[in-house]
Structure 1
Amino acid sequence: MASTQEEARTFQRVAPAQSVADRVVTEVEAMIKTEGLEPGHRIGTRQELCEQFGVAPATLGEALRVLRARGSVDLRPGPGGGIFVADQSPLIRLAHSVLRLRQTGAPVNDVIKVLDALDEAVMQDAVQHRTDADIADLEAVMAELTEHWHDPIEGLHGNWRLHRRIAEISPNAVLRTFYLNLVDYIEGETAGAATDDALAVPGFRQDTDERLRIHEALIDAIRSGDVKVGRKAVLDHRTLGR
């Protein structure tokens, strides 16, 4: 069996940005996918996997903790036990798909289109379920956004802070989580970019007063508690892009 120092050298040559345990996680998940292993398939014992990947037991233990947290494998003790392919729920598979998307990358404009499609559902929830505390928070975020509206970087991030806070009102955990992850993805992809690149989101021109009024209308609609007003506000927002 390879020593800890030997395994570190081996994996660093292949993927210097990954830890040894991360590499094991990647390889196990790739094996499950490429070989089409079904839920319940026995991958092996701890000892067998240590030998297969040439890693120490502690390293394998770290990788298995990650794999279990992701819902990729199950660990079964006793005779006939070992590491098995987990039976993932559709929700877990969706979460993993989003994670892989963030790892492999996707055009920001494609993510924006999906976010636009979710905006109406997010807005409807915000209108129907907002509290006085939510409204106070939104007004504070909107005031900050207005202050920095003409700043090419702070204005852009303020825009996403506002949309994130609106989404946080939704009681629908799936909608809320998926939406927030998309916003995080967009901010992550545009953070630190050159000014012109950061503003390459379709239709988003924070230096126009009309665009600022459209965002103010979103807050007014949520404050009103009127679903029809909320739908009009979000459609006006979508028409001009972000």
Structure 2
Amino acid sequence: MQDTDTVSQVTFDRSDARSSIAETLVERMEETIRGSSLGPGHRLGTKEDLRRQFGVAPATLAEAIRVLRLRGVLDVRPGPGGGIFVAEQSPLVRLGHDMLQLGADGTSITHCLAVLDVLDQEVALDAAAHRTEQDVAELTELLERLRRTWPDPAESQRCNWDLHRRLALISPNVLLRTMYTRLVDYISGELGQAITAEDFRKGSADRLQVHVDLVDAVIRGDQRGAEAMALRHRGLTRPDR
């Protein structure tokens, strides 16, 4: 008889990666909490209760609980009356979790790009104010790669997102950095095919030059110049423009 794990009617061969089974269990447990509107402090049961409920092996459940604890979704309390509880999440934890759920919510690329347009200005200001020698070296290399690959729409689009992501990583503002890079990851990964070569190449010469001028301003530490380039850049990546 084949040895399997099951998660609410979903069956997996043992040959499947354990992490994939645990990831599916994480999703099902989160769906249970959201779907039943379970509030902070609600007791889900013991580990054995949950193992039986979802029909999984102890190791699979342990991995799912570990992930959900790291995300701030679950608490584990020992002793009499203990068990697995819905965690009290801080607003920042909830924001981070919501950012991870962008794909599940069907967020459109137009909405993502609209938010990036707004955040670009703050990213540019922080990058110009806080860039280090290492940042300058890496931005210079990324810009050169963007120039080199510009004739290839697919490759230059990837380089474009790499450059924007790297600019955001300079910011000391953790919230800004996290929101921006999450959005870039979502757009470049999940929605990459939604931005066609034709969309990306609109105003091609101007689009390349604004990136050159933006990086140049950041390298010089020119905040006003970087902000001006971010404003000029605004809206250029929207497919509906």
1:112-191 map, 5 Å: 112-191=113-192
The answer to whether the 8 Å contact 1:148/1:155 transfers is yes
- Aligned partners of 2:46 and 2:82 also within 8 Å: yes
Cα pair distance change 1:118/1:47, threshold 3 Å: same
Matching residue of 1:211: 207
Match of 2:104, SS state, is: helix
Note if contact 2:51-2:58 (Cα within 8 Å) is conserved in structure 1: yes
Aligned twin of 2:33 = 32
Q: Does 1:68 align with 2:75?
A: no
SS at match of 1:179: helix
Going from structure 1 to structure 2, the CA distance change for 1:141 and 1:42 (only over 3 Å counts) comes to same
Distance 1:53 1:105, change over 3 A: same
Contact 1:206–1:212 (CA<8 Å) still a contact in 2?
no
User: Does 2:222 match 1:232?
Assistant: no
Q: Which residue of the partner structure matches residue 11 of structure 1? A: 10
Q: Which secondary structure does the structure 2 equivalent of 1:163 belong to?
A: helix
The match for 1:102 is 103
CA contact (8 A) 1:39 1:85 kept: yes
Once the two structures are TM-superposed, the CA of residue 232 in structure 1 deviates from its matched residue by 1.1
Is 1:152–1:206's contact at 8 Å kept on the other side of the alignment? no
Describe the shift of the 1:12–1:198 C-alpha distance in structure 2 as closer, same or farther (beyond 3 A): farther
Distance 2:156 2:9 in 1: 46
Q: TM-score, normalised by structure 2?
A: 0.85
- Residues 7 and 227 of structure 1, relative CA distance in 2, 3 Å threshold: closer
Q: CA deviation at 1:22?
A: 3.1
Moved more, 232-241 or 216-225: 232-241
| 8 Å Cα contact 1:42-1:83 kept in structure 2 | yes
Within 2, Cα distance between the matches of 1:34 and 1:9?
A: 15
Tell whether the 8 Å contact from 1:148 to 1:154 is kept in structure 2 after alignment. yes
Q: TM-score, normalised by structure 1?
A: 0.85
Q: CA deviation at 1:66?
A: 1.9
- Structure 1 residue aligned with 2:218: 222
Q: In structure 1, how many angstroms separate the alpha carbons of the residues matched to 2:203 and 2:148?
A: 12
Quote the sequence identity (%). Answer: 47
Are the equivalent residues in 1 in contact too, given 2:128–2:222 (CA < 8 A)?
Answer: yes
Paired letter, 2:208: L
Q: Which ranges of structure 1 fall in alignment gaps of 5 or more residues? A: none
The secondary structure found in structure 2 opposite 1:160 is helix
Q: What is the rounded CA distance, in whole Å, between the counterparts of 2:223 and 2:166 in structure 1?
A: 18
CA RMSD of aligned residues (A): 2.7
Distance in 2 (alpha carbons) for counterparts of 1:58 and 1:208: 52
Q: Is the 8 A contact 1:141 1:158 kept in 2?
A: yes
Partner SS for 1:153? helix
Query: d(CA) in 1 for partners of 2:173 and 2:158?
Result: 24
Taking structure 1 as reference, are residues 239 and 47 closer, same or farther at Cα in structure 2, changes over 3 Å only? closer
Q: Using a 3 Å threshold, how does the CA distance of structure 1 residues 81 and 240 change in structure 2: closer, same or farther?
A: closer
Match of 1:198 among 193, 196, 199: 196
1:159-195 deviation line (CA, Å, top 9, x unaligned):
112111111111111111211111111111355x4xx
1:78-115 CA distance string (max 9 Å, x none): 11111111011111111111111133432222211111
Task: Give the paired residue count.
Answer: 233
